[in-house]
C-alpha cells in the first residue's frame, strides 16, 4: 500500500491538523528519524504554508490544535507542539502547551526545529511596498541595476516573470532578465498585479 493511501486511511481522508478535506498532501515532518509512516502526516495547503513559515500565522485557524495535539500519531504530536510554541503568546496555546505531554524522544524531535526558541514571527519575502512575494510571481524593477559579472544593465521598469524566492535569504529573489538568471534584492522590486 502506498504511503499516501496509508495516511488517508489513518486520517479518515482529512488534514491531520485542522480536519479540512481539500487538496491534501503527504508532508514529511522535519528532523524525523522513524519510518515514513510515523514521520509523515496528511496536511492541507493552508497548514503546510504556515508550518513551513511561508505565510503569516492565522491564530484562529490553529485553535484546532487543542484537539489534534492529543493524536496518537507521533508526527501530529510533534507538529502540534511546534505550532503551539509559535503561538505561545496566545493564552489558549500556552494553556495547551502546559497540558501537553511528549515522551523524551518526541520532545527531542519537536525541539530540533527550534520553534520553541522563536517568537512566532515569520520572515517572508516582501517587495518595496511590503507585498508578499512567492515563487512564480511577476515583479517590476523599481531601480536600474547593474548585474555583477556581466555587461547587463537591468533598467527600471523591467518586468521579471516567474521569479523564485531564495529560501535562506528573504531579501533575495531570482529571475531571468534577457535570458540570464540573476539574483535581485527584494527592496528593488514591486509585485505586479495580474
Per residue in 19-58, pLDDT tens? 999 999 999 998 887 788 989 999 999 999 999 888 888 9
The pLDDT value recorded for residue 75 is 95
Residues 149 and 60 in one domain: no
Of 29, 54, 33, nearest in space to 42 by CA:
29
pTM exceeding the 0.75 threshold for the entire prediction? no
Strand, coil or helix: what is 43? Answer: strand
Taking the CA atoms of 22, 26, 32 and 33 in sequence, report the sign of the dihedral they define: positive
Residues 16 and 65 in one domain: yes
The pLDDT value recorded for residue 120 is 57
Q: What's the rounded mean pLDDT across residues 161-190?
A: 89
Residues 113 and 146 in one domain: no
182: containing domain: 139-191
The count of other CB atoms within 10 Å of the CB of residue 175 is 22
User: Which of 7-11, 30-34, 105-109, 128-132 bottoms out in mean pLDDT, i.e. has the lowest?
Assistant: 30-34
Q: Is residue 124 one of the residues assigned to a domain?
A: no
Residues 7 and 76 in one domain: yes
Give the ranges where the chain is alpha helix by DSSP (H).
3-11, 36-39, 45-51, 65-68, 74-86, 91-99, 104-111
Q: What is the mean pLDDT of the chain?
A: 89
When pLDDT is cut at 50, 70 and 90, the band that residue 161 belongs to is: very high
Task: List all residues 6 or more positions away from 106 whose beta carbon is below 8 Å from its beta carbon.
Answer: 74, 77, 78, 81
User: What total of structural domains would you count in the chain?
Assistant: 2
The pLDDT value recorded for residue 8 is 94
When pLDDT is cut at 50, 70 and 90, the band that residue 142 belongs to is: very high
When pLDDT is cut at 50, 70 and 90, the band that residue 168 belongs to is: confident
Task: List all residues 6 or more positions away from 40 whose beta carbon is below 8 Å from its beta carbon.
Answer: 3, 7, 26, 27, 28, 29, 32, 75
Among residues of the chain, what percentage have pLDDT more than 90?
59
Taking the CA atoms of 102, 105, 111 and 112 in sequence, report the sign of the dihedral they define: negative
Q: Does residue 191 contact residue 139 with C-beta atoms inside 8 Å?
A: yes
Amino acid at each position: 500500500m502506498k504511503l499516501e493511501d496509508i495516511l488517508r486511511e489513518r486520517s479518515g481522508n482529512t488534514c491531520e491538523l485542522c480536519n479540512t478535506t481539500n487538496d491534501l498532501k503527504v508532508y514529511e515532518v522535519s528532523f524525523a528519524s522513524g519510518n515514513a509512516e510515523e514521520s509523515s502526516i496528511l496536511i492541507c495547503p493552508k497548514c503546510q504554508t504556515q508550518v513551513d513559515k511561508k505565510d503569516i500565522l492565522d491564530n484562529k485557524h490553529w485553535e484546532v490544535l487543542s484537539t489534534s495535539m492529543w493524536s496518537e500519531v507521533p508526527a501530529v504530536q510533534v507538529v502540534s507542539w511546534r505550532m503551539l510554541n509559535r503561538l505561545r503568546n496566545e493564552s489558549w496555546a500556552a494553556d495547551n502547551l502546559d497540558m501537553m505531554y511528549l515522551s523524551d524522544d518526541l520532545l527531542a524531535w519537536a525541539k530540533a526545529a527550534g520553534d520553541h526558541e522563536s517568537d512566532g514571527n515569520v520572515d517572508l519575502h516582501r517587495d518595496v511596498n511590503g507585498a508578499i512575494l512567492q515563487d512564480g510571481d511577476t515583479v517590476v524593477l523599481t531601480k536600474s541595476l547593474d548585474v555583477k559579472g556581466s555587461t547587463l544593465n537591468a533598467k527600471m521598469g523591467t518586468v521579471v516573470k516567474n521569479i523564485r524566492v531564495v529560501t535562506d535569504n528573504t531579501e533575495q529573489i531570482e529571475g531571468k532578465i534577457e535570458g540570464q538568471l540573476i539574483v535581485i534584492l527584494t527592496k528593488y522590486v514591486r509585485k505586479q498585479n495580474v
